[in-house]
Amino acid sequence: MFTKTKINSVIAAGFIGASVMLGNVAQAAEFNIRAVANSNENDEDYDGLVVFKDFVEAHSNGEIAVDIFMGSQLCGNGVECLEALEYGSIDIYISTSGGASAMYPYVQVLDLPYVLRDDRIAEEVFTGDFTRELRKQILEDSDNAVRLMAIGNTGGWRNFANTKRTVKSPEDLEGLKIRTVVSDLPQELVRSLGASPTPIPWGDLFTSFQTGVVEGSKNGITDIMGMKFTEAGLKYVTLDGHAYMSALWYMNNDTFLDMPEELRRVVVDGFSALQQATFASPKRKSIAAYEAFNKAGGNLYVPTPEEKAQFAKAAEPVYSWFKESIEDGDKWFNLLSDAAKQAEQKVEAEYESDLH
């Protein structure tokens, strides 16, 4: 379980300043919610928060006000922001699984490669009981302070991209220096495929491509084009779709439970609307991103089912690593795998009805 520590004075000063600015708004609403995303207004996270704010404020008849803070105004990274969420200094926060793995290592299950087949399967899984099980565990490990509200998307799917060559098989990745985050699971994945994991800060990645410090990455197409990585030499993208770019949306549990039940219902429905918005946003944005990639001289490769099966087979050691290295790893692997299989069965049954 994560042990609380004293929040630092810089963060506290930021919250005090923010509370002064929000004073007039807070007087107008019975509940004022501070929502934080460490991204920018071009991101799916912002799209989701705008939908959430509009829904909650309208459906609560103004009893709830939502203030959106993008970037690092109130806190700068996953651990810092989740700590602030535990203390109630902020009310809503969104992180990737990598951003939360230091506090909740088992959320790395969301980064296991090739478990979720496509958007339809992922969305079925994340609107079901798997998310509720993850909510229970995070509540327990945060001493009932942090409540997982929804799992959405933040950037589509992770695909292998590089500056050197078209990748059609795991053998084509051998020897390439692939940028990863400072998180164990993605580094294990890169190793299992024969490449060299190279942790590089996101802000340094453009120049790292230019100088050859790294030769590849694991990103969605909107991130690639948003950062103009093609101008740094990133020209080859293989749509292997090894990981769904999950976004975990949390809320301070006391803030949530302090509301009457009818307003909690509004908040839950608001997160459902947010989730649907983040499911849809990457699909829309990727259309223009792929067009821009092609115009920039990019080479896009779509693996055949047989080729994708080769990638999945080569990545299997990551499953063993997760089960052995993460407490209750077997449990979380099985929960996600079983949920994915159930979703696939449901979709296949729907095909039987819809195609005939």
Domains and CATH numbers, the chain: 9-156+245-285 (3.40.190.170), 158-243+286-354 (3.40.190.170)
Measured from the Cβ of residue 227, the count of other Cβ atoms closer than 10 Å reads: 18
Point out the residues of the chain with pLDDT beneath 70: 1-27
- The confidence score (pLDDT) of residue 148 equals 98
pTM (two decimals): 0.89
Would you give the DSSP letter of residue 41? Answer: T
**CB atoms near residue 201 (< 10 Å):** 10
Q: What is the pLDDT of residue 181?
A: 82
Secondary structure, 3-state, 65-93:
EEEEEECCCCCCCHHHHHHHHHHCCCCEE
pLDDT score at 21: 42
d(CA 68, CA 36): 6
Q: What is the pLDDT of residue 349?
A: 96
DSSP 154: E
Query: What do you get for the CA distance between the two ends of the chain, in Å?
Result: 51
SS3 at position 267? helix
